[in-house]
Structure 1
Amino acid sequence: MALAAPPRPFTARRRLNRLARALRRHGWRAQRRYTGPRPVLRVFFPDAPCLGDSVTVTAGDGGWWYRSSTGELLAPCSDVDLAVSLVTTSLGRWVSAAGSPWGTGGA
């Protein structure tokens, strides 16, 4: 069960930066939005910027977790590869459902 407690902004930014680098390597665009009260990473396919997800960091069982804007805990921050897989699979379905003519690089 996830706790609602956010980490310190520095901690969240560091973990979101790591996720952003991994997502970019897979062809996704990751836009940092760190000026608000809670750091957010906006993730979307470059050619379909209207379809995306906002990922935050929150406390969960065993440490810090990446959390989708849907409220779903994606993966522990210690498992960036799993988080990338879940984000790209989820967004890849949205891009495909929207009838996008662009590929998602295997997402």
Structure 2
Amino acid sequence: GEGRAAPLSPGDFIGKWMSLIAPAAETVASSTMMTTTERQTALERISIRYSLANLRTFPCVSILEGKGKLSLYGAWFDISTGELWVMNKETGDFERPEL
């Protein structure tokens, strides 16, 4: 209907971008060791890691990052608690920043 966004298609840029996490989504969704909320959080954080890796495949990003002129950071905001978590560049783990 009017005012509704069209669903993502595999051919559009965002659809292609999001398709990168499809294998991870399937793995996380099939996990019986996590609650639904834990699976959702895991996938959100995985998508951040995948997005950063994908950004680094763009030559302009890769070149600028290699020259030290661009830094990429991953962050995840838990809207239910108001907590910000930042991805550790060394481990890929998410940690609450020390403020």
Please, what TM-score do these two structures have when normalized by structure 1?
A: 0.30
Name the one with the larger helix percent. Answer: 2
Indicate the structure with greater strand content: 1
Please tell me whether Structure 1 or Structure 2 has the larger radius of gyration of its CA atoms: 2
